[in-house]
């Protein structure tokens, strides 16, 4: 009888050990799921929550397009950005057409002004760099006014 009780105890221990392992495997799986980065496409669904990291904090775009700024932005874009960005299609970097349907204005300006820190720390920019196979967005040393003009130009690209 004593021996039987002994066996039962071992059995109970074994069962609980196995159960424990199973739970462990589940929680590792859960953790992995939480840690796996979301794709850019997934993050774009909540793009409003990404303001980016850098000198620009959230700002409201005026409703009216400022044509003077658009013209300045176009000149800057053609001089400093078209080596990697085409407005009609994906090139070395993404096309900026309709960018404000998937990014906030402040995120776009921070990406232009502070790409190194953005691609290291901002979740969306980090994932974008991965999806562009590690080819980084270049810092072209624009001033805030120049970046703002480029943003105004982007508003007109559909």
Q: How far apart are CA 60 and CA 62, in angstroms?
A: 6
User: Is residue 137 close enough to count as binding ligand HEC by CB under 6 A?
Assistant: yes
- Rounded Cα distance between 120 and 38, Å, is 16
Would you say 66 or 84 has its CB closer to ligand HEC? Answer: 84
> 40 to 79, contacts with ligand HEC by CB under 6 A?
77
Binding-site string for ligand HEC from residue 104 to residue 133, where x marks contact by CB under 6 A and - marks none: ----x--xx------x-----x--xx--x-
Cβ atoms of 120 and 53 closer than 8 Å: no
Q: Which residue has the tokens 């990406």?
A: 111
Cβ–Cβ < 8 Å for 85, 15: no
* Interaction site with ligand HEC (CB under 6 A): 77, 80-81, 83-85, 92-94, 96, 99, 103, 108, 111-112, 119, 125, 128-129, 132, 135-138, 140, 142, 150
């Amino acid at each position: 009888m004593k021996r039987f009780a002994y066996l039962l105890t071992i059995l109970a221990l074994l069962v609980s050990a196995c159960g424990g392992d199973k739970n462990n495997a589940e929680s590792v799986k859960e953790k992995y799921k939480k840690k796996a980065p979301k794709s850019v496409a997934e993050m774009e669904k909540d793009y409003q929550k990404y303001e980016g990291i850098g000198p620009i904090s959230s700002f409201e775009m005026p409703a009216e397009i400022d044509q003077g700024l658009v013209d300045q932005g176009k000149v800057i874009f053609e001089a400093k950005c078209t080596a990697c960005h085409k407005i009609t299609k994906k090139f070395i970097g993404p096309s900026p057409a309709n960018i404000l349907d998937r990014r906030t204005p402040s995120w776009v300006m921070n990406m232009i002004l502070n790409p190194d820190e953005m691609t290291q720390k901002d979740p969306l920019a980090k994932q974008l760099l991965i999806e562009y196979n590690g080819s980084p967005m270049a810092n072209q040393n624009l001033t805030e006014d120049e970046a703002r003009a480029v943003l105004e130009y982007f508003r007109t690209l559909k």
